[in-house]
């Protein structure tokens, strides 16, 4: 579930056109906090199976999408629903904080 990677070319189809809400993890391979957050998201991904699509976008390889969503720091998480950005979170989060944030933003 979480290992799905998205790129500039397929962002619209995978994220914006999704029937499910989508959590996009904007990350970079050189970012150590990104690696930590990735493990936390992997841990919680089963909880949201069938309710939330979780994808990763490498900001170094996907400039257009990163620029469009004004990604200035990584890790950054953005929640989308029905093609619209509904929430943004920058930086590392604990497992419980991340679950609470998702639950608060997705009714």
Check if 34 is active-site: yes
Per-residue model confidence (pLDDT) at position 70: 97
Instruction: Please name which of 7, 3, 103 lies closest in space to residue 60, comparing C-alpha atoms.
Output: 7
pLDDT value at residue 2: 56
pLDDT given at position 80 = 98
Q: Cα(37)–Cα(6) distance, rounded to whole angstroms?
A: 17
62 part of the active site: no
Question: What pLDDT is recorded for position 107?
Answer: 76
Residue 57, SS3? strand
Residue 2 · residue 45 · CB < 8 Å: yes
Please pick, among 1, 7, 20, 31, the residue that the annotation labels catalytic.
31
**Tens-binned pLDDT, residue by residue, of the chain (107 aa):** 556 999 999 999 999 999 999 999 999 999 999 999 999 999 999 899 999 999 999 999 999 999 999 999 999 999 999 999 999 999 999 999 999 999 999 87
Distance between CA atoms of residues 1 and 54, nearest Å: 6
- Out of 24, 34, 40, 54, the active site residue is 34
Residues 6 or more apart whose CB falls under 8 angstroms from that of 87 comprise: 78, 79, 101, 105
Q: Which of 55, 63, 52 is nearest to 14 (CA)?
A: 55
What domains are defined for the chain? 8-105 (3.40.30.10)
CA separation for the pair 2, 57 (Å, rounded): 11
């Amino acid at each position: 579930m979480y290992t799905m990677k998205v790129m500039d070319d397929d962002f619209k189809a995978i994220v914006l056109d999704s029937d499910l809400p989508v959590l996009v993890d904007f990350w970079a391979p050189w970012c150590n906090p990104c690696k930590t957050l990735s493990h936390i998201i992997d841990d919680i991904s089963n909880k949201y199976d069938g309710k939330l699509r979780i994808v990763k976008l490498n900001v170094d390889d996907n400039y257009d999408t990163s620029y469009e969503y004004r990604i200035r720091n990584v890790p950054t998480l953005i929640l989308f629903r029905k093609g619209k950005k509904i929430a943004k979170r920058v930086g590392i989060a604990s497992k419980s904080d991340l679950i609470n944030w998702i639950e608060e933003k997705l009714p």
